[in-house]
Structure 1
């Protein structure tokens, strides 16, 4: 009933860039009747509102009342249907695409994920697919529209971070000239009236938008940077600090714009992923090749891709061979050979021959589109540090404002201080009171980390997992397909019956193996020596579950199967039994070729360990992470793989629930983060139990991308050490940024208490801290080139 009575509407708000606007919107909307949930994505400037259908107009009107320009977001275009302006703590051009998350949280949490700290609930995203058309059913479809230009006139300055627009260049420039003139007139003891006129004119030209936004904030009881700056500048004018009030307003407006430019780089990094796929592809229509927008291409269409061209859609090759650079999706540095029947992915580059593909995924459901959707959704899932900072800032700003009031009153009343002097110092405190640098430090850092990981082919589902990674103490690994290649290969064959030649026995075995679907049988059929053999006719073929296959060749019945079957058939001799035991103890699988009299040939096969797995496990140990291999295979096979790969511990013959129980046992003290990496359905319980679940080879897999906490887009286990290094670097940057933001504030509070603060320095401190933490967070964007 609930899903029938409510809907989720995605609303793009160009002015919504930082927690300043989020708080205003929350106060305006969260108690409105009919609104049951709010979900904010500040990096994409999209607010998803869960509401009763009848109140949508009221919601839009409430947003306009704040001074913002709401636009219904259809999820298909970077530019909404109504041209809007931009503003606040993170101004920006439209370099960042947006999406509407369909998670309708009734608790109004800006993360939309209350309780995400509990890993038992980390996959419980309740996506409502019955939302109205405004929400946009396929978020990523707009990725292929390219760079959409903003409808901003050439005379306007880039957006301000408080909602609304900065003045045109000439307004800001003229305001700066008048502020400087006011300073010079005052410095050279010119007419006071001229100082006042120049100062007031400068404030009016440069600060109109700040005052307007400040008044809106005060109306909602929100002491954001615009409200604090408006109060400070107004009081400075009232106490006769005309030139300084004017210059502070001009510098604040200019520095806000500079800060916006810095934050644009974060959005541009995510935007770079979105622009990987081309806008158009060459499609065969009625026998003719035509350029068509990717969003218009239907499933099954034939698409031609020239050498050097970027692939626009997922598809299967039906003509031609080539090599494809899959680095944008998997992070692989070496191009991959592709031939008939192989799959190619949108966003990758066709480097060699011309190919034709049949489209297997629409533009809004390609692997690249799903990756981008997950990155955007991850931005809305706040890491523990970010939640702490948001909570801290709610108490910090009012506390500092109270301090400013006390600073203006107590020294003059009780210690004989000069009223104007201490009021001035109180105004300095007001300017540095806003925790913008502190609040902005965490999302910029986390988004940069998520984007850097995506460039390496590591898709992280939220900042919580990126941040948790630095505490990982154990990593549990599945064996088959994770540490090993997942495809057994023939490692040997031993003739045991002198009545037949080795070639004759192998030909019989290959003829039976080609008709079996067992992995070891396939290894026999695909062995290099088998390609030169001509198959013989097999009559009366039968597959016996759990045993092998049999058939009549010539006038004799042959069996290809397990040692257990040989025992049941009564053809297992003591000598053969010893050979089988020796092979199994060395970690190899055994298949026997038998007739009705004896075992004639012994084949061995093994699932080879990936070279990358050995190096990855070595790196994990160097990083202080212990490893345990969990497998359902026989103990002898598991022991052999463990010895070669170097894992710390190994457990064999485990059922899926037993793997889960072992992961749970590793978590017993609660202080160690436990990771689990696997690639199969039998790993699902353990992956869900782990604090961080890693899915191997998720490229092209809907299930893996949607359910894993971290999806490794190829089968390279080396990506887990890279993830850990990135997590630890991200943690260091977060600590650095918080220390910078708070440290600068503390220094200036000390200067103010010593009577040495000034409004000029306060503006530089506030914005300078923001620029420092943004620049420091953006360093993570270079991680992929430096570390992997």
Structure 2
């Protein structure tokens, strides 16, 4: 399959019709035209000349990359045609009463009409021959009808206004497309590979895992990798949406698409470009444009029946008053033509896609990948958010919250000596607490892990124990120490004791550290309209309840296995629209079960693949804003539909007193299209405060 950029696509329905025509030719059965991306994807075996012929029948064509043309060429020509048409039109009006040459005036009207409406006319005639009724057919009938009853002035005005409407419609979609394309331009095209000490510029697709690349100051990192030489700050905004630079040094990972701010980095590639984070981001963003929401599907079905209904209604308007009420045939024929123009479903069809593309683009700019318009719509409807605890609301890194020393001279040194060589997460937390404490004792002469208890070690001939309460079974614990242990347990802390053969030297109270932004995020979610915030965790009840209370969750369920989380999500879904946020392999089933699955971008690949929405940051700070954008899009779509149908309803009501004119009809449609387009594009606007921070964005520390 090969993709071609298109220009001149006039509307979503026209794109769909062209797609069906191309699918009828040999090898064209899998052809696909994306109106949103202005792109044709087709089998390379297809006769391209036949495809060009089908496209040209609707004024569309394939953009040749080398000819310097752009998708807006058609729009630029149409703009000049409209300007010239308007000049001729006003000259004809001015000269109409000044000279007595009707033929000259009519010729000027015809010229203006032809310049602004010739493409519509020819497409409409072709559709009429096939008994195919769409917007072009309706306009063509209206133009022929206006000319047939001598309404040259109004017919010309209709052609110019419809051309203007088509131009503005295309301009609005082009703005949305351009915003999306600008987002996709971050992909690097080349990389500097170092092989045997020689630097060579190669295409990005030629990069392989294990290649060593050089990234100079101001250059884009070509693919995911690990820094093996150099130090610099890197802007990861293209991936995570975070504008603040991140310091990188030897041994640290970098994302493809990130910008090297200063210094020179040598990076070993760990993923080929097509498997990199950037490639995944761009693929998800492109695919997101093609899904249709339930609202869009409903609008398309409605438009399918709406247009034939308008044609029948227009016919009734033309014949019923003259036949049954002795009204003027000419007057009501004119009214019927105006009704046909009101039947154009442009604004209605555009009420949803531009708003959805704008919403997806805005979220993508902020590092939030919505995998489709349908998920954006659902995100705006959710009222319950379910969170995994570890790695989502907490950092997933244990830290020492409290410490009780009974033997200050030996407690930390012994703990440090035992845990120094361990890679266990609890050991890392203890070593961090013991940082700066000199180990007065030698390395353990003997060390043994006891399953379910902890560690036994011999240091300087003396035996020590480090672990849970079971590890100190050889001791009789004094009441005051027992009370201390019980108090720490009631606070939801994990207990780690250090003891020798005679007594307990001290006690660590360890917990998974809560993310600094978690409480603020929960508060912001409630302001955004989320009614229930729920935590699911495999931890015991005391720890889970402590975390829930600290950050302000409404519900918490503890001691859960992965399958238990799925059942809880199903239970919550009975009472509302549920989103699940997680980052681990064990979260994938629950993410798939929820109405919307939201994964942390720096989590596991399985969670990211399963989720419907991906937060490319390692925190939740941008989630409330993503929900606000989704709700804004949903509100705008409802407003757009109301405007599109409302203005048409008003225009149709004017037929009752016989006040509907051709220019009022076209203005009702054009006005609706302009309003719908402008409102949809407002989604892309992001206000910033004095510090340059986007409005509604939470600061992550």
TM over 0.5: yes
Q: Which residue in the other structure is 2:486 paired with?
A: 581
Kept in 1, the 8 Å contact 2:10–2:166? The answer is no
Secondary structure in 2 aligned to 1:485? Answer: strand
Q: Which among 19, 34, 45 is matched to residue 41 of structure 1? A: 34
Q: Measure the CA separation in 2 of the matches of 1:13 and 1:386.
A: 23
Secondary structure in 2 aligned to 1:222? Answer: coil
Kept in 2, the 8 Å contact 1:490–1:523? The answer is yes
Alpha-carbon deviation of 1:15?
4.2
Q: Measure the CA separation in 1 of the matches of 2:72 and 2:445.
A: 82
Secondary structure in 2 aligned to 1:605? Answer: strand
After superposition, give the CA deviation of every residue in 1:538-563 in whole Å (9 maximum; x if it has no partner): 34443344333334333234332222
Kept in 2, the 8 Å contact 1:472–1:673? The answer is yes
Secondary structure in 2 aligned to 1:489? Answer: strand
Residue 645 in 1 paired to residue 562 in 2? no
- In the TM superposition, 1:649-660 aligns within 5 A as 649-660=555-566
Residue 730 in 1 paired to residue 641 in 2? no
Q: Which residue in the other structure is 2:690 paired with?
A: none
Q: Which residue in the other structure is 1:228 paired with?
A: 138
Q: Which residue in the other structure is 2:691 paired with?
A: none
Kept in 2, the 8 Å contact 1:457–1:712? The answer is yes
**For structure 2, which runs of at least 5 residues remain unmatched after alignment?**
688-693
Q: Measure the CA separation in 1 of the matches of 2:130 and 2:421.
A: 74
Secondary structure in 1 aligned to 2:564? Answer: helix
Q: Which among 549, 553, 560 is matched to residue 466 of structure 2? A: 560
Alpha-carbon deviation of 1:631?
0.9
Secondary structure in 2 aligned to 1:653? Answer: coil
- TM score, norm. by length of structure 2: 0.89
Secondary structure in 2 aligned to 1:677? Answer: strand
Residue 685 in 1 paired to residue 589 in 2? yes
- In the TM superposition, 1:401-480 aligns within 5 A as 401-480=311-390
Q: Measure the CA separation in 2 of the matches of 1:36 and 1:643.
A: 58
- TM score, norm. by length of structure 1: 0.80
Q: Measure the CA separation in 1 of the matches of 2:129 and 2:475.
A: 91
Kept in 1, the 8 Å contact 2:537–2:544? The answer is yes
After superposition, give the CA deviation of every residue in 1:62-81 in whole Å (9 maximum; x if it has no partner): 7733636999xxxxxxxx9x
Q: Which among 549, 564, 570 is matched to residue 664 of structure 1? A: 570
After superposition, give the CA deviation of every residue in 1:710-729 in whole Å (9 maximum; x if it has no partner): 11111322322222212221
Q: Measure the CA separation in 2 of the matches of 1:413 and 1:32.
A: 48
Q: Name the CA shift for 1:685/1:324 in 2 (closer, same or farther; >3 Å).
A: same
Residue 67 in 1 paired to residue 60 in 2? no
Q: Measure the CA separation in 1 of the matches of 2:579 and 2:616.
A: 17
Paired residues in the alignment total: 690
Q: Which residue in the other structure is 2:683 paired with?
A: 780
Q: Measure the CA separation in 2 of the matches of 1:556 and 1:530.
A: 24
Q: Measure the CA separation in 2 of the matches of 1:270 and 1:531.
A: 54
Q: Which residue in the other structure is 2:642 paired with?
A: 739
After superposition, give the CA deviation of every residue in 1:315-344 in whole Å (9 maximum; x if it has no partner): 222222233232332233433232222222
Q: Measure the CA separation in 2 of the matches of 1:60 and 1:576.
A: 87
- In the TM superposition, 1:132-531 aligns within 5 A as 151-152=68-69, 158-159=73-74, 169=80, 174-188=84-98, 190-496=100-406, 498=407, 502-527=408-433, 529-530=435-436
Of 554-563 and 765-774, deviating more is 554-563
Alpha-carbon deviation of 1:673?
0.4
Secondary structure in 2 aligned to 1:393? Answer: helix
Q: Measure the CA separation in 1 of the matches of 2:8 and 2:283.
A: 22
Kept in 2, the 8 Å contact 1:23–1:222? The answer is no
Q: Measure the CA separation in 2 of the matches of 1:70 and 1:13.
A: 11
- Cα RMSD after superposing both structures: 3.2
Alpha-carbon deviation of 1:241?
1.6
After superposition, give the CA deviation of every residue in 1:494-549 in whole Å (9 maximum; x if it has no partner): 344x5xxx454433322332333321112112335356547842344433443333
Q: Name the CA shift for 1:250/1:17 in 2 (closer, same or farther; >3 Å).
A: closer
Q: Which residue in the other structure is 1:25 paired with?
A: 18
Of 249-258 and 517-526, deviating more is 249-258
After superposition, give the CA deviation of every residue in 1:477-501 in whole Å (9 maximum; x if it has no partner): 11111111110112344344x5xxx
